[in-house]
Amino acid sequence: MRILGIETSCDETSAAVVENGILVRSCVIASSQRDFGDTGGVIPEYAARKQLECVLPVVDTALKQAGVTNADLDAIAVTHAPGLLGSLLVGTSTARTLCALWNLPLIPVHHTLGHLSSTWLDCSNEPVFPVLTLSVSGGHTDLWYRTAHCTGALAATTVDDAAGEAFDKGAVLLGLGYPGGPQLSALAKKGKRDAFTFPLPMATQAGFSFSGLKTSLKYALRDIGSPPDAQTAADLAASYQEAICSHLSHQLGLALEKLHSCAEVHIVGGVSANTRLREQAQEICGQYGVSMRTPTTLRYCTDNAAMIAAAGEFLVESDRRWLGCAFQTQATQSLASQLKME
């Protein structure tokens, strides 16, 4: 199928045209992220208004860049959950209207299923199942073990914050802007990762927890007393990033210890753009003799509509009833609604 994907779950407005879940003909992303540079996070009402301004021009550009018109499309796939409700509603209302106008079926896609599908985009050799995916972003941190696109089980999840949130909150403590991940990791490059010691959360049990790490960073800053000098700030950033990545890769190791049949490990979501996480995860995968993949470009790590179009394709492949089915736009929803649990 040739699917137009639409993604508006947070502060990115994206539209993409993807063929057969793999070949990306276009992927356009507009972002209001820079508007939140000094606010420490997204302001939902403002993000929704920006979505409204951007969505139609972004769709139009995606079609033009792909060299297609609505007559060349087989379906539209749209993120319907989870996310900021106002932002989601802009995407789903637009998609519903375009489907009615263009006489196309609509496929609702869970945002996380989009991230789990992002490693297929523009890949030259298709991944082989079973796949263990570490999905790390601003809203979720999970390990999913799948035997097919839409069949699998949750191997581990977070009990508090998401990994991206840990980066974002750490960045606020260090006086950096939003989104914190890219800025904190840039600062970390100038620091020593063993300068400060942070605890390893959940060392022996499956699961993620980041709130203790954030508190440790707060205490480290308090103990320093005055605002840290440039080198100390870089050392704190490097050590804090190291602690987050060690926790993520340690959990990956615990899961691989149990899941011997795993053919590939995938790392997806905004935090998968982090170089140090990739290095650490690669080392763990090497120890278990499993190959590791990340999305083919950084654009497919963070929120984008190409992954939503791909997930739409795979959903329909798993069950044709997803094509044109009724759905509700929801701020929270479990992936179990689209992933058959084993």
The residues that touch Zn ion, with contacts defined as CB under 5 A, are 137, 303
Cβ closest to Zn ion, residue 13 vs residue 239: 13
DSSP state at residue 43 = -
**Pick from ligand KG4, Zn ion, none: which does 181 bind, CB < 5 to 8 A by kind?**
ligand KG4
Q: Is 273 in the site for ligand KG4 (CB under 6 A)?
A: yes
Q: 271, 285, 306, 307: which one contacts ligand KG4 (CB under 6 A)?
A: 271
Query: Which stretch in 48-56, 65-73, 270-278, 318-326 sits in contact with ligand KG4 by CB under 6 A?
Result: 270-278
Output the six-digit token pair for 217.
């960073």
Cβ closest to ligand KG4, residue 105 vs residue 269: 269
Q: 105, 164, 170, 201: which one contacts ligand KG4 (CB under 6 A)?
A: 164
Q: Are strands 2-7 and 75-81 parallel, antiparallel or unpaired?
A: parallel
Three-state SS at 265:
strand
Output the six-digit token pair for 50.
């920006």
Three-state SS at 125:
coil
What number of chain residues touch ligand KG4 (CB under 6 A)?
A: 19
Q: Is 180 in the site for ligand KG4 (CB under 6 A)?
A: yes
**Pick from Zn ion, ligand KG4, none: which does 114 bind, CB < 5 to 8 A by kind?**
none
Q: Is 168 in the site for ligand KG4 (CB under 6 A)?
A: yes
Query: % helix / strand / coil in the chain, to the nearest 5?
Result: 45, 20, 35
Cβ closest to ligand KG4, residue 41 vs residue 212: 41
Q: 5, 82, 138, 152: which one contacts ligand KG4 (CB under 6 A)?
A: 138
Rounded Cα distance, 24 and 138, in Å = 24
In the chain, the N- to C-terminal Cα span, in Å, equals 28
Class of residue 211 by CB neighbours under 10 A (exposed 0-12, middle 13-18, buried 19+):
middle
Smallest gap from residue 159 Cβ to ligand KG4 (A): 18
The verdict on whether omega for the bond into residue 127 sits within 30 degrees of 0, i.e. cis, is no
Helix axes 163-173, 180-188, angle to 10 degrees: 70
Cβ closest to ligand KG4, residue 1 vs residue 245: 245
φ, ψ at 146 (rounded to 5°): -125, 140
**Pick from ligand KG4, Zn ion, none: which does 167 bind, CB < 5 to 8 A by kind?**
ligand KG4
Q: Which residues make up the interface to ligand KG4 (CB under 6 A)?
A: 10, 137-139, 164, 167-168, 179-182, 185, 269-271, 273-274, 302-303
